């Protein structure tokens, strides 16, 4: 490695990745490539997670190589469930390292928080494009953290909802969300109130036990389940999981990391990449769940976009 690699702050990454919609085409391609096995050119192991039990935290290591972009990255992400709601530190913090794939030298270090938020929301938008009911008027977001904001941004760009609702365990954070974002958002006092009649539901919570119950969910609704990324954590109850058509980003990861999948015993119907490729159908007429755990190749795609934009402007 020659010289010291540059570091891009969260603000700089935001500048080079200003619109989440820029991620949609390359992420669709990456999802399809991932679900094509060795032919797709994506090399990505399931993330390694190191528990930091003393402090109720976790360190995740997420490497990937994508032949389509000829990009090699590793994301280091920490997740601390014990972070106080009043803390200035987010529950998730991340750093992405981008390497020169031809020789292994480190090209760029960048804050990973913006990348994580935007690529996760973009993949949810891709899933929703394929799986939402044909006439979707009501969007519901459960949770009011970073992912709630990134999902709201791209969902209101890509789709036309007549009503948006939000619920959060700490109501003042939901009220702050509604006051901060562009557009009208209805703050709800309970999960049941928020999800009743909703066509598309996004769960981006810190829940470790189910908060969303099947009896409240409109038949034919689509759910993007983003939280509960540990094998003993849940956001959705068994009724939802066992009666939905279940899509995931990665079968291997879902069967290792998702408490909603593992503890319910729900059967995985397809990976999202298989739907993108057209080898598995999108059952829009049925209740669908997209269980998102986040994949390293998504970070790779986003980091390469940031790098290309940064390097062209140097």
- How many percent of the chain have pLDDT more than 90? 90
How many beta carbons lie within 10 A of that of residue 61, not counting itself?
A: 14
Q: From the DSSP assignment, how many helices (H) and strands (E) are in the chain?
A: 11, 15
The pLDDT value recorded for residue 314 is 62
Confidence band, pLDDT 50/70/90 cuts, at residue 136 = very high
Residues whose CB is less than 8 angstroms from the CB of residue 64 and which lie 6 or more positions away in sequence, other chains included? 42, 43, 44, 72, 73, 74, 295, 296, 297, 299, 300
- Cα–Cα distance measured from residue 107 to residue 109, given in angstroms and rounded to the nearest whole number: 7
The pLDDT value recorded for residue 92 is 84
Confidence band, pLDDT 50/70/90 cuts, at residue 24 = very high
If you average pLDDT over every residue of the chain, what do you get? 95
pLDDT, one tens digit per residue, over 202-222 is: 999 999 999 999 999 999 999
pLDDT, one tens digit per residue, over 231-274 is: 999 999 999 999 999 999 999 999 999 999 999 999 999 999 99
pLDDT, one tens digit per residue, over 27-45 is: 999 999 999 998 999 999 9
- Cα–Cα distance measured from residue 157 to residue 118, given in angstroms and rounded to the nearest whole number: 13
pLDDT, one tens digit per residue, over 172-193 is: 999 999 999 999 999 999 999 9
Residues whose CB is less than 8 angstroms from the CB of residue 121 and which lie 6 or more positions away in sequence, other chains included? 20, 147, 150, 151, 153, 154, 155
Report the SS3 class of residue 268.
Answer: strand
* Domain 7-115+297-312 homologous superfamily, CATH: ornithine cyclodeaminase, domain 1 (3.30.1780.10)
- Cα–Cα distance measured from residue 275 to residue 125, given in angstroms and rounded to the nearest whole number: 14
As a CATH number, domain 130-295 is: 3.40.50.720
How many beta carbons lie within 10 A of that of residue 281, not counting itself?
A: 12
Q: Tell me how far apart the terminal alpha carbons of the chain are, to the nearest angstrom.
A: 19
- Helices (H), ranges, the chain: 10-16, 24-34, 113-131, 146-158, 171-180, 191-195, 238-243, 251-257, 259-264, 272-277, 296-312
Confidence band, pLDDT 50/70/90 cuts, at residue 1 = very low
Quick one: tokens of 160? 């036309």
Q: Where are the domains of the chain?
A: 7-115+297-312, 130-295
**Taking 60 as the threshold, does the pLDDT of residue 53 lie above it?**
yes
Confidence band, pLDDT 50/70/90 cuts, at residue 3 = confident
Are 213 and 111 spatial neighbours (Cβ–Cβ below 8 Å)? no
Quick one: tokens of 8? 């891009």
- Cα–Cα distance measured from residue 110 to residue 78, given in angstroms and rounded to the nearest whole number: 15
């Amino acid at each position: 490695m020659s010289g010291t690699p540059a570091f891009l702050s969260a603000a700089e990454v935001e500048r080079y990745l200003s619109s989440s919609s820029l991620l949609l085409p390359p992420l669709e391609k990456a999802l399809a490539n991932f679900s094509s096995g060795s032919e797709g050119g994506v090399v990505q192991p399931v993330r390694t997670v190191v528990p930091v039990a003393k402090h109720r935290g976790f360190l995740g290591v997420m490497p990937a190589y994508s032949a389509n972009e000829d990009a090699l990255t590793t994301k280091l992400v920490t997740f601390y469930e014990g972070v106080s709601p009043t803390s200035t530190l987010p529950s998730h913090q991340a750093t992405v390292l981008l390497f020169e794939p031809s020789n292994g030298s480190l090209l760029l270090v960048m804050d990973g928080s913006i990348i994580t938020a935007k690529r996760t929301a973009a993949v949810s938008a891709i899933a929703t494009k394929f799986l939402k009911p044909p006439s979707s008027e009501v969007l519901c977001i459960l949770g009011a953290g970073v992912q709630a904001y990134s999902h709201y941004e791209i969902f209101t760009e890509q789709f036309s909802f007549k009503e948006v609702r939000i619920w959060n365990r700490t109501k003042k954070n939901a009220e702050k969300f509604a006051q901060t974002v562009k557009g009208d958002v209805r703050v709800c006092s309970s999960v049941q109130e928020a999800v009743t009649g909703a066509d598309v539901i996004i769960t981006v919570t810190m829940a470790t036990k189910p908060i969303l119950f099947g009896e409240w969910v409109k038949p034919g609704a689509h759910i993007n389940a983003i939280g509960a990324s540990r094998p003993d954590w849940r956001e959705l109850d068994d009724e939802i999981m066992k009666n939905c058509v279940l899509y995931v980003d990665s079968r291997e990861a879902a069967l290792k990391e998702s408490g909603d999948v593992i503890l319910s015993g729900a059967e995985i119907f397809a990976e999202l990449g298989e739907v993108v490729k057209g080898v598995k159908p999108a059952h829009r007429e049925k209740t669908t769940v997209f269980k998102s755990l986040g994949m390293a190749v998504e970070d790779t795609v986003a980091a390469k976009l940031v790098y290309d934009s940064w390097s062209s402007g140097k």
